Chains A and B, each alone.
Chain A
């Protein structure tokens, strides 16, 4: 179980020479099960995930994981406590191979067969990929799948996927859902999926809507999803890659 208490995150705003509040006094308790986080581009979803993983530290507030205050813990310590974060934009490495990364992720020496098993789960032909370098030669979709394979190898009680479906084709979309179910079966705990896709929201137990750094809605899927689909939400949320969604100020200006 993950609890965020009065979490705020401020950054220096270059343009204004002032502070900008990206996450505004967020209170959120995430129970076990599937939780989807959605909301407009720039709403603060990835920032929230980075705060949980320890990549950035909140300006104020507390983060509790299974009752323990982890606010002051490093990325490594949180990882060892069982928090996994699959990035929206996976990192490329010169020289490290898929096998290297999956081995590191699993935290122990694993056999080639086990490593290949994880790749198969994300629909990659293991033989072709296991020795590939995770460098600029991989396509965006391949990289994204390898990122997910690492999360599977970790099998932790909290996994956050940041837009796992982005760039992944339709066939593997079905796989993706199996992946979530498998992790949940093996490790229990919570799976948080940041997504703009209705198909993903459809499998969530609960849905969080974040916009402007605030929680706009949080509740059971049956309750939240119909509102989102009707467009009753405070800001346009669903839709694929329509970048104008993330730029309400620009739209406002055009209207004026």
Chain B
């Protein structure tokens, strides 16, 4: 496999906490091509033939294994649409790390749109981590539009962590989950936007199974003139539990919208939404200042903690 450049290494570190090529199964996509791939006895990765993207096939009973599928873009003006599909067998326990890093040194817009589909087999446990990061001194915009579709079979569980801390000018992320009997999904989102960035989050969970559950939690910080929209829609059509929470810190001239929707179509569906948008609490700043921090150092600590 090709040597990684310094920029590619930095992107990889930021989106996957990887310092080198990962152990286990992986597929590294770079500027629209394949930079490297490794499959294991239990995890196969196959290039799709009908459209760009890959199928990741995980054998039933696979435990304590991981798959990394980072996407790197360093070429200005590159625009791509990628379809990645995960087939996770029954009784698995795996970690999947995706993520996209764009380094745009030029003046043309670079864009990555990914559609990830997860078929999670009965009683399987999946942890899915997705990080988005942008860098580059160029004036070209860095755009990412990830879509995630998750189908959870009976008794399965998926925890999704989605993180975007800096450098993405515009993002629209759509996540859909269909949750069967006894299955559950937990989504944790962390977003920080600055300057004129725009971020739209749109979650939809259909709780169709008995004793299914969804827990969606978004923490975000909007700085400068950035704008964030948080939409969540939980539909409970069986005895189920749904909870969504949007907790946002707003600064400067930023705008945050929270649009929650809940639909209960069963007497035993119990759905809750909480939303709180506000500036950093004055007493938090004051406390840290009495400990010797300046106001801006205090702000930084509070935000770092909040998004940790």
Residues of A whose CB lies within 8 Å of any CB of B are 53, 55, 74-76, 79-80, 83-85, 87, 90-91, 93-97, 100-101, 104-105, 107, 150, 154
Contacts and interface: CB of A to CB of B under 8 A. Distances in A.
A interface: dominant SS: mixed
Given A55-B286, A95-B302, 17 more contacts: A74-B289, A75-B286, A76-B292, A79-B291, A79-B292, A80-B292, A83-B290, A84-B290, A85-B290, A87-B287, A90-B287, A91-B286, A93-B284, A93-B302, A95-B304, A97-B305, A104-B291
Interface in B284-308: 284, 286-295, 301-302, 304-308
Contacts, number: 59
A100 B303 CA distance: 13
B247 interface: yes
A94 B294 contact: no
Contacts of A55: 286, 290
A87 B305 CA distance: 21
A95 B306 CA distance: 5
Interface of B: 219, 247, 281, 283-284, 286-295, 301-302, 304-308
A53 B290 contact: yes
A177 to B, nearest CB: 23
A94 B287 contact: no
A53 B291 CA distance: 11
A96 B302 contact: yes
A97 B304 CA distance: 11
A100 B306 CA distance: 12
Contacts of B291: 79, 101, 104-105, 107, 150, 154
B283 A91 contact: yes
A104 B286 contact: no
Contacts of A93: 284, 302, 305
Contacts of A90: 287
Contacts of A94: 219, 247, 305-306
